[in-house]
Amino acid sequence: MAFEFEHLDIPGLVIVHPQVFGDARGCFEETFREDVFAQHGIKGLCQDNESKSTTKGVLRGLHFQTRHTQAKLVRCIIGAVYDVAVDLRRGSPTYGQWRGVELTAENHTMFYVPEGFAHGFMVTSDEAVFAYKCSDYYAPEFEGGILWNDPDIGVQWPLDVAPMLSPKDQALPRLRQVKDELPFVYQG
């Protein structure tokens, strides 16, 4: 099997380890197969994104869309990031909890974050290129987010430095300010 799927204790979160074939030239891996991923509930991915961060400590997040909600299959193809998902699904046994995973070009690890989560990452290398697939299209009018260091969530970010955030991300609200407006519901 070309992929190993590791289902986390927060229902819906999956770490994916692709099989990497090394040889004298370098390496090869399959990064996505509709047939295999669908067997693990990962389907309908329709948009590919890529971002480059040029400073250690860049922090993007914590993001979601309130309509055209997006599941994301994410990975880091150059450098290293610490990737975080926060469960925002009303009625979820793990509502408000977060999980983090190190994604690096070296470990080839991917992380699947379903709909109903806020998602973000912090760059832990001097630069990082981050690539991901989404299950719905970008809809800027429905962009939402939660402040990266909301104490009610308490994400343990890895770097002990002031992160570099966009002005938009610096101004995000805390979960307690928006929780009643969020549309996400745990499906069981």
Ligand X SMILES: Cc1cn([C@H]2C[C@H](O)[C@@H](COP(=O)(O)OP(=O)(O)O[C@H]3O[C@@H](C)C(=O)[C@@H](O)[C@H]3O)O2)c(=O)[nH]c1=O
Active site residues: 63, 132
Q: Is residue 49 at the binding interface for ligand X, with CB under 6 A as the rule?
A: yes
- Minimum CB separation of residue 105 from ligand X in Å reads 18
Q: Which of 34, 106, 138, 151 binds ligand X (CB under 6 A)?
A: 138
Q: Which is nearer to ligand X, 63 or 108 (CB)?
A: 63
Site for ligand X in 109-128 (CB under 6 A): 119-121
* C-alpha span between 43 and 84 (Å, rounded): 21
Between 4 and 183, CB nearer to ligand X: 183
Structure tokens at 132: 């991901």
Total chain residues near ligand X (CB under 6 A): 12
Q: How far is the CB of 24 from ligand X (least distance, A)?
A: 36
Interaction between residue 61 and ligand X (CB under 6 A): yes
**CB of 63 vs ligand X, minimal distance in Å:** 4
Q: Which segment (5-13, 24-32, 60-68, 96-104) binds ligand X by CB under 6 A?
A: 60-68
Closest CA to 76 of 12, 145, 21, 127: 127
Ordered DSSP codes for 88-152: --BT-TTTT-EEEEEEETTT--EEEE-TTEEEEEEE-SSSEEEEEEESS---GGGEEE--TT-TT
CA distance 122 to 79: 11
186's CB contacts (< 8 A; 6+ apart) are 11, 89, 90, 91, 92, 93, 95, 116
Does residue number 60 form part of the binding site for ligand X (CB under 6 A)?
A: yes
Least CB distance to ligand X at residue 110 (A): 14
Q: Which is nearer to ligand X, 36 or 125 (CB)?
A: 125
Task: Tell me the three state secondary structure of residue 179.
Answer: helix
Minimum distance of ligand X from residue 60's CB (angstroms): 4
**Count of helix runs (H) and strand runs (E) in the chain:** 3, 13
Q: Does 75 bind ligand X (CB under 6 A)?
A: no
Structure-block tokens of residue 128: 């990082």
Which residues in this chain contact ligand X in the complex, by CB under 6 A?
49, 51, 60-61, 63, 72, 119-121, 138, 166, 168
